[in-house]
Structure 1
């Protein structure tokens, strides 16, 4: 009988370093979408704070606690990263495990904003996109979630099936950015 081995979306492909920029795969964590039932957003926010120490993120925002992060993931939806969701949240929201369906990469370094500007049609400058801000946007020709996790650090999330394509596009943009200076 064949033995199956679990692999991450970018297994063996990262990290990548170009001109002071680093692209690495984010540490694998549990990823759960949380979609509040009609009229339950306030109760869900309170339950999420009690269970995980963070509230529901605002539109284009995120919230974080010691071992958890919640990012806005679309209309009336958040993505909980880190812990398994507390079972009590299910009375206020639909909880769906997304852990194996997405790839998460982090782009870190001076110039990360410029690299992403080559792929995303949104203003990601720190003055317009503060630490903790998040957006669902196009990244070249695929949909992505981009979250600023530090002054010069971004978490980029795409469908697992698009991980190699995103890696290729980011590498090309990093090389082009590096070549200009």
Structure 2
């Protein structure tokens, strides 16, 4: 029987152009949590074992390497940890379906501003906030992880396209700033 070897969507690539760095990141296992009607208390009890709670809309929280990310009404992604037994919710392993990219540096907002139809400046999207939007024509979840840092979750099948869009835009932003590449 053949052995299957798990590979990341972008084989761990990383790129710095000008003041911006783009890199694939390993966020660990990703589990979708969809709370059943009336299941909120049971889910809260299960998540407490990780020191987490269901996030408020457009927010995420981290504790001991685990992250819980709002993805919709009564829905979240649990990342970086195996999910506890959760009564009151549907759990679905999403690990193989998503790719994560980190975009950081002083020009990160300038890059995203050319691809994302929402205001991602620090005042509009502070650290610890998340938004579901589009990156050009692809659906993504964007987390604000630092003053000049984002994580972008997109479908694994679109990872190379997302990388291409971001890299091309990084080149334009660096050229506009007069940065040697």
TM over 0.5: yes
Give, in angstroms, the shift of residue 108 of structure 1: 1.0
CA deviations on 1:22-77 (whole Å, 9 max, x unpaired) are 111112400000011101224322431x2111111111111111211111112221
- Consecutive unaligned residues of structure 1, counting only runs of 5 or more, are none
**Residue in 2 aligned with 1:153?**
149
1:74 aligns with 2:108: no
Give, in angstroms, the shift of residue 2 of structure 1: 4.2
Root-mean-square deviation over aligned CA pairs: 1.2
**Residue in 2 aligned with 1:37?**
36
User: Residues of 2 paired with 1:68 and 1:141: CA distance?
Assistant: 29
CA deviations on 1:106-165 (whole Å, 9 max, x unpaired) are 001111111111111011000010001101101100100000011111000111000000
Contact 2:142–2:151 (CA under 8 A) maintained in structure 1: yes
Please give the TM-score of this superposition, normalised by the length of structure 1: 0.93
**Partner-residue secondary structure (3-state), 1:100:** helix
Contact 1:31–1:97 (CA under 8 A) maintained in structure 2: yes
**Residue in 1 aligned with 2:55?**
57
Contact 1:108–1:154 (CA under 8 A) maintained in structure 2: yes
The number of residue pairs the alignment matches comes to 177
Contact 1:146–1:157 (CA under 8 A) maintained in structure 2: yes
- Consecutive unaligned residues of structure 2, counting only runs of 5 or more, are none
Contact 1:8–1:28 (CA under 8 A) maintained in structure 2: no
User: Residues of 2 paired with 1:15 and 1:150: CA distance?
Assistant: 18
**Residue in 2 aligned with 1:11?**
11
User: Which stretches of structure 1, 4 residues or more, deviate above 6 A after TM superposition?
Assistant: none
User: Residues of 2 paired with 1:148 and 1:108: CA distance?
Assistant: 10
Contact 2:27–2:79 (CA under 8 A) maintained in structure 1: no
Contact 1:117–1:123 (CA under 8 A) maintained in structure 2: yes
User: Residues of 2 paired with 1:8 and 1:29: CA distance?
Assistant: 11
**Partner-residue secondary structure (3-state), 2:165:** helix
